[in-house]
Structure 1
Amino acid sequence: MYTLHNFPYSQHARRVFVLLEQAQLHYNIAPIRQVEDPQLRPELQALNPKHQLITLETASQLLSESHSILRLICSEHQLNDWYPEDHQLRATIDQWLDWNQCQLSPLVSELLWQQLLTPSAKQRLTVSSIRAKLEPFIEHLTEQLWHQSYVAGKSMSIADLSIATNVHQLLIAGELKPSAPLQVWYEKVSQLPGFQRTLKPLAS
């Protein structure tokens, strides 16, 4: 059985949680409850020297990085609907996972972090700068969804789960007014039973 060590409001944990729920796999949740520098707590540091806020514990391994965890779960349980064996389709999914991790996610995290800071003229300029950088990535995602139902093709994949958790963060922060294709896509992903469960803190 898996144990998912996570910070309850992390989008990285949410995407793993959704997959576990949708695949109806057995798992335990071990929440990291303290926001104040939780990476430095000794028990977490022993669990994950990389200081990530999400770790999957299996019978034989500790694995961090949400996308690596998603791929492992799909491979171990033959979840080919979520991560197909077709090499070209899998490469397309990987491409969108990398795009989310390397391009979209850092901007989303920085924007939300800046919103938590005490408002100041400098902070407002920083937020405006991040918004400007974020805009072309949202446009790119929207353009992709004009042409197809999901980011990697005709079927929902782990790439959709990953990107939707970041889009969710932007929506609840009031930082995104999605156009029609993005809204339709997000509603389809967010209506998954597993996704609906993540709208509550991942503590049970």
Structure 2
Amino acid sequence: MQEKGSVVYIAFGIETKPSQYELTQLALGLDLCGLPFYWVLIDKRGSSDDDVIELPRGFEKRTRGRGVVCRGWAPQFKILSHDSVGGLLIHSGMSSVVEGFQLGKPLVLLPCMPDQGLIASYLVEKKMAYRIHREDADGSFTPESVADSLSLVMVSEEGKIFREKAKEMMGLFGDRDVQNKCVSELICFLNRV
């Protein structure tokens, strides 16, 4: 059993396909940060041996007891609902953003597709999430940037703003009455047009 709010949930959706290089950097960053994690790592590349995802040598052995790599579908919302999960490392897909905010979980973002970059930029501008630094020239990132980003959002005093904003968003995204009111207002607006 992990401590409340200590586990990082990592997932990149069904459409996003991080490269082998990106997966290696992520794994090394998770190893470096020392936080417990649950990583949903779905192999979406294909069936040839050249396309198989490989984690750094010894990664799963070194992180055993603090990390789980799930190589298939996982019930994301159910996992995120657990008290041990304290934050998400995601690709900035809107479904994952909404689920994280519904449950008041802070977000660390690593966008991989153009629409995800737009979503991430907005969330970062509003201090609703933190984005892992990528190099402008080639989009690369380091294990240290992964580890530092996770530690900032999940642990440090400096990152408290992201944890507080996530709780604040829970009041909006997790409130059915507010959602129903917004949908009703949208329908009224569309009927007037």
Give the structure-2-normalised TM-score.
Answer: 0.27
Structure (1/2) with the larger helix percentage: 1
Structure (1/2) with the larger strand percentage: 2
Give the structure, 1 or 2, with the largest relative contact order (CA under 8 Å, sep 6 or more).
Answer: 1
Give the structure-1-normalised TM-score.
Answer: 0.26
